[in-house]
Structure 1
Amino acid sequence: MNWLKKLPGYQRTPYGFEVRLLRMMPSVLLAGVALPAAVAGLARVVFNQGTVDEIAHNIQTFDFVMLGLAIFIWTAALTVAIGCIIVWLMKGPAYVADAYEVSHSDKPKS
């Protein structure tokens, strides 16, 4: 039995936007970490007004927001990547499924 028998006469669909998106994902993931980290570093220069406790609280709050943003970007990018992989697989070659004979297919029981 040949499990991977391709459908005769099937023409493969050309790849499109999903492949371009998949190729962009490493850059998006890197930017999803680098940009919030750079903004968090910049916050240490900007938040310099107030007492030491207020400055530490503001910086820590901003760091948590940037960490949440980085996790959100990674989650969104991985979700898009999974969708692109599914579309890429669906555009692959078609395969013939083996027929399964059902005993009552011609004469269903009443």
Structure 2
Amino acid sequence: MGILNKLPNSVRYPSHKEWQLLKKLPKWWLLGTLLFAAPIMYTWWQQGDLLAQNLERTSLFLGLLFTFWFFIGALMIGLLVIIIMKGPGYVADPYYLPKEDKSLEINPPDH
């Protein structure tokens, strides 16, 4: 038995916007990173030390940068889940249930 066995007669749904958005994510990630890192880089370039001056501003833009990265990562995971769910169905290995004891259905045990 192979690793991925396609379900016979499974329906594969056509993609809509998920591939278009997934292809745009690297560009959005780069532009957002540049946008939020530009004030930090400017401060470092002008003053040479980020912690001595404008600590609150540096912390704010680092927080915005990490929040933006988290958003892009969550969006990427969501798009990948949609792409996987629209693909063909797969069959898992069968799990055969053990034989049932029909007498337990008639007279359930007392606990």
What is the TM-score when the length of structure 1 is the normalising length? Answer: 0.70
Q: Does 1:75 align with 2:70?
A: yes
Letter in 2 for 1:35: L
Q: Deviations over 1:46-101 (max 9, x none)?
A: xxxxxxxxxx64x3321221111111100111011111111111112111233322
* Distance in 2, Cα, partners of 1:80 & 1:108: 52
Letter in 1 for 2:6: K
* CA positional deviation for 1:5: 2.1
* Distance in 2, Cα, partners of 1:76 & 1:5: 34
Alignment of 1:4-19 (within 5 A): 4-19=4-19
The 10-residue stretch of structure 1 (61-70 or 97-106) with the greater mean CA deviation from structure 2? 97-106
* Distance in 1, Cα, partners of 2:83 & 2:103: 39
Paired residue total: 98
* Distance in 2, Cα, partners of 1:108 & 1:98: 30
Match of 1:50 in 2: none
Distance 1:81 1:39, change over 3 A: same
Letter in 1 for 2:33: V
Q: Deviations over 1:15-44 (max 9, x none)?
A: 1222222112111211221112334538x9
Gaps of 5+ in 2: 47-51
* Distance in 2, Cα, partners of 1:106 & 1:17: 51
1:60 to 55, 58, 74: 55
The 10-residue stretch of structure 1 (67-76 or 20-29) with the greater mean CA deviation from structure 2? 20-29
What is the TM-score when the length of structure 2 is the normalising length? Answer: 0.70
Gaps of 5+ in 1: 46-55
* Distance in 1, Cα, partners of 2:19 & 2:62: 29
* Distance in 2, Cα, partners of 1:28 & 1:38: 15
Letter in 2 for 1:64: S
